[in-house]
Amino acid sequence: MPCIILEATTAEPRIEKPGRKALFGTRRASTNRQFINNRLTLYLIQAINRRITVGVAQFNGIHVRLERDGRNCIIGFLIMSNLYPYWESVSIDLAISSLDSMYQQVKAIAGGKRIIVSETGWPSTGNAKGNAVPSPENASSYFYDFVSWALDHSVDYFYFEAFDESWKGSDGYWGVWDKWGQIKPGRENVFIPCESNRPGIEFTHIPLYGSNNDRLQGQVCHVTPSNYGIAVYIYVPGYGWVNKPTWDAPITPINPNGSWNSIVVSGGADQNATMLAAFLLPTGYNPPLLGGSQTLDIIKNLNYSVSAISLK
């Protein structure tokens, strides 16, 4: 079956054979976006007139699509979009909010078509990109938070990437596993919580940064809900960690089906919280009351607590 692949560079688009890598929205250097848009539209129209199957269109990122009227999204039935807060120099604490904004912009011009996140990720080492800093902690948090976001919004995705490619140098450390096939610290939290036979807790919905009325939601597994409760904390920059919903009600009950939800904005600058933490604790245990603490060590060191910690 013939397949047209349109590469949005300043060079002439070309017809390729099926099987070569081509992703809609990959990052390619360009100095003439109007040329790209005109050529992309022209070749798509020619393809339809010739009754040739269009495989994948590839051009220079979300900005090209959104600078114009979205006409490039009219043709076809599927949109695959690369969304990288890291390459947009967004700090890790605002990464998921930024990604959600990108996704909503694509959705607004998609005309109801299915959208797949064809690439996203965060490197565990390498060079900083503005406010976006590679680190094992940031990469782990982004992986967990993105998967939680994707599940919450029922979005299919391809995560970049499975294994490190150290031959790429400083840009080769995006893997969930290292080059030896060992999973990196913190990444197992995405796979383990409710898929093992031990007590677990996970987030199923994380409020976006700046939201005032949304609730943190989650699920526990392999425990009797009535025998446990959830201690929720948020971290507000300039203040520290504090209990939620309140000091007077520091425990969130668990529903019979294992689900739970908690108010995380109850005053002050709570909507600006950049980190969330939830701990699964036995009924009757009173969690530490924190009012500006810079760490969660006092509760993280409890032998019987199971936790889920996330950046917003």
pLDDT, position 43: 52
Answer yes or no: do 179 and 199 share one domain: no
ω into 85 cis (within 30 of 0): no
Answer yes or no: do 35 and 65 share one domain: yes
Answer yes or no: do 100 and 184 share one domain: yes
Mean per-residue pLDDT over the chain, rounded? 76
Answer yes or no: do 259 and 288 share one domain: yes
Give CA–CA dist 22/225, Å, rounded: 47
SS3 for 161-220 is CCECCHHHHHHCCCCCECCCCCECCCCHHHHCCCCCCCCEEEEEECCCCCCCCCEEEEEE
Structure tokens at 130: 């503005």
Answer yes or no: do 258 and 279 share one domain: yes
Mean pLDDT on 285-295: 90
Residue whose tokens read 């093992």: 196
Q: Report whether pLDDT(241) > 60.
A: yes
Higher pLDDT, 229 or 18: 229
Number of domains in the chain: 2
312: pLDDT confidence band, cut at 50, 70 and 90?
low
Domain boundary among 188, 214, 243: 188
CATH code for the domain of 25 = 3.20.20.80
Structure tokens at 275: 């980190």
Answer yes or no: do 157 and 74 share one domain: yes
Q: Report whether pLDDT(66) > 80.
A: no
At a CB cut-off of 8 Å and minimum separation 6, what does 138 contact? 92, 122, 124, 311
- DSSP class of residue 225? G
The DSSP result for 32-60, as a single string, is: -HHHHHHHHHHHHHHHHHTTPPEEEEE-S
Domain containing residue 250: 193-311
pLDDT, position 198: 74
Answer yes or no: do 114 and 244 share one domain: no
Q: Report whether pLDDT(46) > 60.
A: no
pLDDT, position 75: 52
Answer yes or no: do 256 and 128 share one domain: no
Most confident among 74-88, 93-107, 202-216 (mean pLDDT): 93-107
Answer yes or no: do 157 and 229 share one domain: no
Residue type, 50: R
Strand partners, 57: 6
Answer yes or no: do 243 and 259 share one domain: yes
Give CA–CA dist 118/61, Å, rounded: 12
Domain boundary among 124, 154, 188: 188
CB 181 within 8 A of CB 163: yes
CB 141 within 8 A of CB 128: no
Domain boundary among 188, 208, 226: 188
The DSSP result for 58-127, as a single string, is: E-SHHHHHHHTTSGGGSSSSEEEEE--TTTTT--GGGHHHHHHHHHHHHHHHTTT-EEEEEE----SSS-
Mean pLDDT on 38-61: 49
CATH code for the domain of 276 = 2.60.40
Cα separations in angstroms, 300 against 273, 288, 295, 303: 19, 11, 9, 8
Answer yes or no: do 259 and 306 share one domain: yes
Condensed to tens digits (0 to 9), the pLDDT of residues 180-196 reads 888 898 787 677 656 55
